[in-house]
Amino acid sequence: MKVALDGHYGYRRLVKSAVPGILMMLVGSIYSVVDGLFVSNFVGTTAFAALNVIWPAIMLVGALGLMIGTGGTALVSMTMGQGNHEGAQRIFTMLIQFTVVLAVIFMVPMFFLMEPLARMLGAEGEMLHQCVVYGRICTIGLPGFMLQMCFQSFYMTAEKPQLGTVMSIVCAVTNMVLDALFILVFHWGLAGAAAASMAACFVGGFYPVWYFSSKRNSSSLKLVYALFNRRHIQKTCSNGLSEYVGNISFNVLAICYNLQLLRLMGENGVAAYSVLLYYSYIFAAVFFGYNITVTPVIGFNYGAGDKAELRSLLRRSLVLLLALGFMITLVSELSARPAARLFVGYDPELTELTVRALRISMASFVLVGVNLFVSAWFTGLGNGKVSAAISFVRNLVLELGFVFLLPALLGPDGIWLAVDVAEVCCLILGLSLLAVYRKRYGY
């Protein structure tokens, strides 16, 4: 079933079109959550903390696939909106090739530098050993991981969002089955969790390569013969810079959280923050799924010069995401204790710390969806610089600043409150930028 980019998008069509993308991201978020559950409950607190200390470093490289996918989606959909379908196919193919090349380039140095990298992130003793084992296995899986992240954005551009949902389900099931096999049966510990995740990523990364190259492909995109084009690569990276900056910022922020928490609370603080991250992944997936759906629609209508539809997309998206934000915040507050027990119920003190962290930090989700969408809006319009600036300020200026400032003023609870204060400040910035650029883009 195809979901066309052209035509009017009312509330009903927006929701219906976004459901496959949201499901894809929700199911995809299970990767990290399942690993965390297995590692926390069957390997131990040290391994659980180690996984979450080294994972941000892996994501700094893996997110290049996300950058190429989101930036390329905007470029390909604009090209399609202009009626140049052959050009769109060549750009799409070139970007998939470019993703593989980048993954191979980063594999070797990351593998051999994993130990000094883990030391730099604060790991010592047994945690250091666990970080290196997990990180090196994930490094070997970089090609599949980066391709999977890249293709997530292109499913909607190909007018096949349901394919993305199916792939996420297949990969999640693969991950869960292999986690159980490698950890519970083979007793491979944290290495088993890494191997399960990367095996699932290879399925999610390389099956789409086969599909978009095959005769069974009935989508709007096909892998064809294409040469590298520096201008298109630069435009793609510029468009997708916000998502990469946002991801870098998020993972640098996670590193700083871990360093602060190790100093203030020790391994328990890192473990509580890890649960908070997993919980956040699940709910943020709703917003990411919506943005993956709407970004190519924005790009298509901007390329086609339909300013009325752009205004409608902006207004309706802000209303939908604000409503979703209130719903998600309510659910997260009510389910904080069951979630904490699921991950760390074996330790009453850690459970109480985790519940408090969740209830303070998850209030931010009222505004998270709107703030993420404003950044995605400018990506869809091809203005990667503004989009990147929003992501950079949101994470590396606002939240990072409050992570260090608020604990000094308010004590340990200040570290959990940092994200709430940062989202309020980011909302003011985002709405101001929408107003500033309104005349330029005609929305």
SS3 string of 304-348? Answer: HCCHHHHHHHHHHHHHHHHHHHHHHHHHHHHCHHHHHHHHHCCCH
Rounded distance between C-alpha atoms, residue 367 and residue 355, angstroms: 21
> What is the maximum span of the chain, computed from C-alpha positions, in angstroms?
62
Q: For the chain, what is the mean pLDDT?
A: 89
Tokens 């204790």 locate to 337
Q: What does the pLDDT read at residue 31?
A: 66
Q: What is the mean pLDDT of residues 166-190?
A: 92
Burial label for 422, CB within 10 Å (0-12, 13-18, 19+), is buried
- Using one digit for the tens of pLDDT, what is the confidence trace for 415-430? 999 999 999 999 999 9
pTM of the complete model: 0.71
Q: pLDDT above 70 covers what percent of the chain?
A: 98
| Rama region for 305: left / alpha / beta (φ>0; ψ in -120 to 50; rest) | left
- Using one digit for the tens of pLDDT, what is the confidence trace for 349-402? 888 999 999 999 999 999 999 999 999 999 888 887 898 888 888 888 898 899
With 60 as the cut, is the pLDDT of residue 100 above it?
Answer: yes
Q: Which residue has the higher pLDDT, 244 or 348?
A: 348
Q: Residue 186 — φ and ψ, nearest 5°?
A: -85, -15
CB count in 10 Å sphere of residue 78: 25
Q: Report CA-CA distances (Å) from 169 to 27, 174, 209, 214, 418.
A: 6, 8, 18, 22, 34
